[in-house]
């Protein structure tokens, strides 16, 4: 399994970025994907997840309305559209995936983002820096 994030960079406050996560090597259909971030000096936190089989999306409350997760199965890519960015959004952003055979659908539907830490495959991350 391979996950490769891209699209990070430097943006001014109020700006937008779209992150991409291109995936390969899954031996099951419809993995469940999550986007996470880790700010300097802080632990990794979940932002959103998507069950691609049914297009179910979960967002942490604090990011609803600014972040949008989506997928393009034909391109084997998951996206995170981030709008109205603030310096507090500065972090390394990671993509993760859980097989549906490992309960990924349940974990996403219930917002159990922490499950990705133990059960998920991970990309290397992409840096997002928001200047004030």
Give the number of other CB atoms < 10 A from CB of residue 78: 28
CA 130 remoteness from chain centre: 18
Q: Which two structure tokens, joined as six digits, stand for 43?
A: 């632990």
Q: How far apart are CA 21 and CA 86, in angstroms?
A: 22
Q: What is the pLDDT of residue 26?
A: 87
Q: Which residues contact 1 (CB under 8 A, 6 or more apart)?
A: 23, 24, 25, 26, 97, 121
Q: What is the pLDDT of residue 28?
A: 82
Q: How far apart are CA 72 and CA 27, in angstroms?
A: 18
Q: What is the pLDDT along the chain (132 residues), one digit of tens a residue?
A: 999 999 999 999 999 999 999 999 988 888 999 999 999 999 999 999 999 999 999 999 999 999 999 999 999 999 999 999 999 999 999 999 999 999 999 999 999 999 999 999 999 999 999 999
């Amino acid at each position: 399994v391979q996950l490769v994030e891209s699209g990070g960079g430097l943006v001014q406050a109020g700006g937008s970025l779209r992150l991409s996560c291109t995936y390969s090597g899954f031996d099951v259909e419809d993995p469940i994907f999550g986007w996470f971030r880790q700010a300097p000096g802080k632990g990794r936190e979940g932002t959103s997840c998507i069950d691609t089989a049914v297009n179910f999306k979960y967002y942490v409350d604090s990011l609803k309305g600014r972040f949008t997760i989506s997928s393009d199965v034909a391109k084997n890519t998951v996206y995170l559209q981030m709008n109205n960015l603030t310096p507090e959004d500065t972090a390394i952003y990671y993509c993760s995936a859980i097989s549906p055979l490992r309960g990924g659908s349940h974990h996403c539907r219930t917002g159990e983002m922490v499950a990705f830490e133990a059960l998920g495959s991970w990309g290397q991350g992409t840096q997002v820096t928001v200047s004030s």
